[in-house]
Chain A
C-alpha cells in the first residue's frame, strides 16, 4: 500500500473500536482530513457514509478545487443533495457553473434540488435556464423554478413569471405568484419601486388568494406610499385589507400622514375607525392625540373602546379627566378600558392630573382612583387615602383603608386609629385592623405609643383589636403589654392576651409560656405548653432545643400534649431523642406516636454515622419487641432492614 492509499484508508476508516463498544456511528472521515484527501474520498469507491461525511466537511473548507468532484455527484439521487449541501454556500463562480451545468444531466427531484440551490445563490446567470422550467411537466421542478426566479428577481425573471401567469399549471400558480411577490419586493429594495408597484398592482387582483393580495397590498404600500390610498382601504368593506391597512399605519411614520389620518378618522365607518385607531395607537405619533381624544366621545361603543385603548400610548395629562369620567361609566367594558389606560399612562404629571380630579369625582370613581394611584405608587396616594378615611362615605373609607394598608406609614397611623375608635361596623373594623396591622409591621415599635394611648380610651372590643395589632408588631414592649393584659380585670382582654402569648413567635416569650404551662388552670396550662413546644421546634440550636423539649416532657400532664412533644422529638435525630422516646413505648396512651417518632429518629440517625446506625438498630428492635400493631411493626421492620443493609 502506498502512502496515499494508506492515508485514504485512514481517512475513511470505520470506527471499529467504537462499533465494538456499541457506538452506532458509521463510516466517517478524519476530522483533520485535507481537502485533497476529501476529494479523493469522493472519487473513490468509498461507501455512501464516507462520501456523505466528506461533503459535510467540504461544505466548510472546500475550495474551487473540490467543485468538480462535488459536481460529479449531482446526478446521483442519493448523493445529489449532500453535494449541493457543500456547493450551495461556496462563494466561487465555479460552484454556480457546476450547478447550472448539473441541470442538464439531472432529472425529476434531483433537478428540482439543483434549481433550489441556484435560487438560494441568487444566480443571475441561471435565469435563462430556469425560465423554461416554469412550464416543466414535473410540478416540483416548475414550482421550485418559479420560487428561484422570484428570489433572483432580475427584470428578466420577473417578466418571465408575469408572462407565465396564465399558462402555468394550476398547481404551480401559488408558487408563481409568491415568486412574483418576492421579485417585486427585491426590486423595490433595489431601487426600482415603479416596476415593483406594477407587479404588486397586478397581484392585488381580487381573484388572487388572500395571502397574495395581502402581500401585494403591503408591498404596494411601501413601494408607492399613499396615505390617501390607505385611508381608502380603511373606508372600504374588505375586513382583511382594512386590518392590513391599519397595520401599515402602525408600521410607518411621518407627522404629515398622521395628521391626514387624524383628519379623516371621523369620516370613516365604524370598522374603519376602530382599525385606524388601532394603527394610530401603535404608530405612537402624538399628532394623532386630538383626534383620538375626540373619538373617545363617539356614540359608537367600539370606537370609544378603541379610542380609550389608543390613549394608552398617545394620551397625556390633558386626557386624564375624560378617562376619569369613563372610569365611572355604567358600561363595564368602557370603565375597564379607561382603568387599563390610566394604568398604562406613565409619569408624575398623570398622577397629578388624577389627584387633581379626585375631590370632585363621584365616590365610585374616587374608589377606583385610589386603587389606581396606589398601584401607580403615586405620591398623592397617601394624603388622598387619609382624606378618604375621614370621609362620611363608607365605600370611600374602605378604599382609603386599602390604600393605607399598602402605602401608609407611621404618620398615617393616627387617622386609622381614629377611624377604629369611631367605627361601629364589624366589616369596617376588620378592614381598619388590617390597615393598622400592615402599617404596624412596616413601622415597628415606634408605632406602639400611639396604640397604647388609644387603648386607654377605647371600648372593650376595640382594645382587643389594638392588643392584636400590638402583638403583630412584636418586640419587647409589645410582649410586656400582652403580659400585662393577662392580668387585666376584663375577661375578653385576658383571653385575647393568653391567645396572643401562646402564639408568640420569638424566644423571649419562652419563660412566660413555660410558667403558663405550670398553671393550675387547664386552658392556660395547655396553651402555655403548646406555645412552649412550638417555640422549641423553631429553635435552631440543637442543644437548646433538647433542653426545651426535655423540659416540656416534664411538664406534660395529658396524653394530647405528650403526643405533641413526642412528635417534636421525632423530628430531632439525636441520641437524646431516643432516650426521651423509648420509655414512652410503655405508655399505652402514646405508644403509637412514640413508636413512629422512634422509627423516624432511628432512620435518620442511622444515616448519620456508624454509631447512629447502632443506636438506630437497637431502638428499632425495641419497637419491634414492644409494639404489636401490624402497621407499626411493618414500618419498623422495613426501617430496620434498610439500616442493616
Chain B
C-alpha cells in the first residue's frame, strides 16, 4: 500500500493554527497576529473559528444565520442573494452583529464560493437551488448547512449524497427537529420498544397541497443588480420573467421549484418518521392514496401516513405501536399512551435551531458525520418525492428503495429526475 505523502495543503484554519503555535515558540520572521485572530473576549481564536458565508437571505436564511453568528467560533463574512434588498438587509445584520463593516455581498454565489478564506456556507435559497448550491459548495471545498427540503427530485439528493462522500464534505440538512428535545424524546420512545411494534408513523404535511406547473406571461425584467432572474431560475426551466414567479407564495407550490406541501413539512415530519422506524438508510416500498392522505408501507410492515390534522402546532408527528403511541409538535407539547411513557418530559415550544447548528460546527471540526447528513436526508426526502410521484400520476407506486426506482412504472421513473438547465450539472 502506498504511504500517503504528507505535504498538507493548509486551509485557513490550519494555517492560523500553525502560525499561532509558531508565535508561541521562537520565530525568526516577524508575524503579526491580530487581536481578532487570537480571539477577543467571548470569541474563539481564529484557528478555532469557522469562517462562513450565507447564500439565500430570506427570512429563514437570516434567522439561521443569526444562530450561526451567536456561536463564538463562527465568523460570518459574506452574504449572497439574487435580490438586492435582501443582500443589503443581511449585510446590515452581519455588520451590526459584529460591530464592523467587514461583510461582503455577492449576487453570484460562485464568487462567494471562490473565496479561500471561507470554510463553510449556510444555504437557504429557494428549494429549487438547494441541491445545486450544495454540490457547487462541495466542489469549492466548503462544508455546508443546507435548509430543507434537500431537493426537488430524487436524483438531485442522490447526487448531493454521492458528492458529499466523493469530496469528503460535511453536510447538515436543516431538519433541526432531530436536535429538538421533544422530537428526540418521541423517537427514543419508538426506538426503545416501549410503543411495541411500530404500526403507523404519522407525518403532518403542510396542508392539502394543490401544486401546479403554470408558466406565467412575460414582463419587463429588472436590472441584474436589483434582481438576477437567470440566476434565480438556476437549474430550472427557463421562462420569461414575471414578478410573481419568484415570490414564495407562487414558487413553493410549483413543481419546477419545489415539492409542494409534502416536502415542505414532510422533509421534517417524514424524516422523523423514518428515524423513528430506524429507516434512515431505506424507505417505504409502496405508496398509495386514501382520501387526502398519502400512505407508504415499509418492508417491516409499518405505514408512513402523510396527512393533516395532527395536534401540537406545526410539523407534528405521531408514532403508533401495538403497545402505545406518542404525538408531539412544535408547540413542545407531547402526549403519550400509556401516560407513564411521558416520564418527567417537559419541553419548550418554538423552532430552536441552535443545537443543530452547533452539531454541524462540531462535525466540521472533527469530520464526523452529522445527524442529518446527506445520506439520511436523501432517504427522508425520497419518501416525500415518491409520495409526490404517486400524487402527480394519481395512482399507487411500488418502489424499490435499494435501486431507487419504481417497479413496473416507467412514467413514475421519469419523474425521479429533472434535466438541469445548462451550465449547471449534478
Query: B416 contacts which chain A residues (CB < 8 A)?
Result: 89
**DSSP class of B's interface residues: helix, strand, loop or mixed?**
loop
Q: Is the CB of A212 within 8 A of B167?
A: yes
For chain A, residues 2 to 37, give those with C-beta under 8 angstroms from any C-beta of chain B.
24-26, 28
B215 touches A49 (CB 8 A): yes
Among residues 135 to 161 in chain A, which have CB atoms less than 8 Å away from a CB atom of chain B?
Answer: 140, 143-144, 147-148
Chain B residue contacts of A214, Cβ below 8 A: 167-168
Interface residues of A in 53-104 (CB under 8 A from B): 53, 56, 59-61, 78, 81-82, 84-85, 87-91
Most buried by B among A112, A238, A241, A246: A238
Contact with A along B387-426 (1 / 0, CB 8 A): 0000001000000000000000011011111111111111
Which of B367, B369, B414, B417 lies at the interface centre, i.e. has the most chain A CB atoms within 10 A of its CB?
B367
Contact of B410 among A49, A91, A246 (CB under 8 A): A91
**Chain B CB within 8 A of A243 CB:** yes
Question: Contacts A56-B213, A59-B414, A116-B420 given: A24-B239 contact, CB under 8 Å?
Answer: no
Bound CA–CA A550/B410 (angstroms): 78
Interface size, chain A (Cβ < 8 Å): 77
Contact of A109 among B242, B343, B423 (CB under 8 A): B423
- Which one of B2, B141, B410 lies within 8 Å of A210 (CB-CB)? B141
The answer on a CB contact under 8 Å between A78 and B423 is no
A247 within 8 A of B: yes
Which residues of B sit under 8 angstroms from A226, Cβ to Cβ? 1
A478 within 8 A of B: no
- Does chain B have a CB within 8 A of A282? yes
**B423 and A143 contacting across the interface, CB-CB below 8 Å:** yes
Residues from chain A with a CB closer than 8 A to the CB of B141 are 209-211
Task: Tell yes or no: A625 within 8 A of B by CB.
Answer: no
Q: Are B369 and A81 in contact (CB under 8 A)?
A: no
User: Which of A89, A110, A206, A247 is in CB contact (< 8 Å) with B414?
Assistant: A89
| Chain A 340-362: CB-based contact to B (< 8 A → 1; otherwise 0) | 00000000000000000000000
User: A211 touching B167 by the CB < 8 A rule?
Assistant: yes
| Bound-state Cα–Cα, A237 to B6, Å | 7
Q: Which of A227-235, A328-336, A513-521 forms part of the interface with chain B?
A: A227-235
Q: Does A414 contact B (CB under 8 A)?
A: no
B422 neighbours in A (Cβ, 8 Å): 81, 109-110, 112-113, 116, 140, 144
Task: List residues of A (302-324) whose CB comes within 8 Å of B's CBs.
Answer: none
- How close is A169's CB to chain B, nearest CB, in angstroms? 15
- B238: interface (CB < 8 Å): yes
Name the contact of A26 in the complex, choosing from B215, B237, B424 (C-beta under 8 A): B215
Partner of B166, one of A52, A85, A116, A215: A215
Please give, as numbers and ranges, the residues of chain A lying within 8 Å of B6 by CB-CB distance: 206, 236-238, 241
The reply to whether the CB of B366 lies closer than 8 angstroms to some CB of chain A is yes
Residues of chain B with a CB closer than 8 A to A217's CB: 4, 168
Q: In the complex, how many angstroms separate the beta carbon of A315 from the nearest chain B beta carbon?
A: 19
| Interface contact A247-B418, CB-CB below 8 Å | no
Given known contacts A117-B419, A211-B139, A240 and B411 CB-to-CB distance under 8 angstroms: no
Query: A547 near B: Cβ within 8 Å?
Result: no
Judge whether B4 and A116 touch: CB under 8 Å.
no
| Contact (Cβ within 8 A) A90 B168 | no
Residue from the list B4, B167, B215, B344 in contact with A232, Cβ < 8 A: B4
Binary A-proximity of B59-80 (CB < 8 A = 1, otherwise 0): 0000000000000000000000
User: Does A444 sit within 8 A of B, measured CB to CB?
Assistant: no
Q: Is A162 an interface residue (CB 8 A)?
A: no
B9 at the binding interface (Cβ < 8 Å):
yes
List the B residue with the shortest CB-CB distance to A236.
B6
Q: A81 vs B422: C-alpha distance in the bound complex, in angstroms?
A: 8
Chain B: minimal CB distance from A38 (Å): 15
- B11: which A residues are within 8 A, CB to CB? 210, 240
Contact A81 to B8, CB < 8 A, known contacts A56-B213, A116-B425: no
Whether B5 lies near A206 (C-beta < 8 A) is yes
Tell me the complex Cα distance, A309–B226, Å.
51
Q: Is the CB of A78 within 8 A of B238?
A: yes
Q: Which of A61, A120, A213, A215 interacts with B417 by CB under 8 Å?
A: A120
Smallest CB separation, B151 vs chain A (Å): 15
Segment touching B, from A178-186, A466-474, A627-635? A178-186
Task: Check B7 for interface membership: any CB of A closer than 8 A.
Answer: yes
B299 within 8 A of A: no
Contact A240 B367 (CB under 8 A): yes
Q: When the two chains form their complex, are residues A204 and B421 in contact, meaning their CB atoms are under 8 A apart?
A: no
User: Which of the listed residues B4, B9, B238, B422 has the most CB atoms from chain A within 10 Å of its own CB?
Assistant: B422
Contact with B along A111-124 (1 / 0, CB 8 A): 01100110110000
- Residues A116 and B167 in contact, CB atoms below 8 Å apart: no
Cα–Cα, bound, A181→B168 (Å): 11
- Known: A53-B215, A60-B414. Is A239-B14 also a contact (CB below 8 A)? yes
Known: A60-B411, A178-B139, A240-B367. 12 other contacts (CB 8 A): A26-B215, A60-B415, A87-B419, A89-B417, A143-B423, A144-B422, A147-B425, A212-B167, A224-B1, A238-B6, A240-B14, A278-B366
Residue ranges of B at the interface with A (Cβ–Cβ < 8 Å)? 1-9, 11, 14, 138-139, 141, 155, 162, 165-169, 213-217, 237-239, 242, 244, 343-344, 366-369, 393, 410-411, 413-426
- Could you write out 27 A-B pairs with CB less than 8 Å apart? A24-B216, A26-B216, A81-B419, A81-B422, A82-B238, A90-B414, A109-B422, A113-B421, A113-B422, A116-B425, A119-B425, A120-B155, A120-B420, A178-B139, A181-B166, A185-B162, A207-B9, A210-B11, A211-B167, A211-B168, A213-B9, A214-B167, A215-B167, A228-B1, A238-B4, A243-B366, A246-B368
Q: Which 3 A-B residue pairs are closest in the complex by CB-CB distance?
A: A214-B168, A206-B7, A113-B422
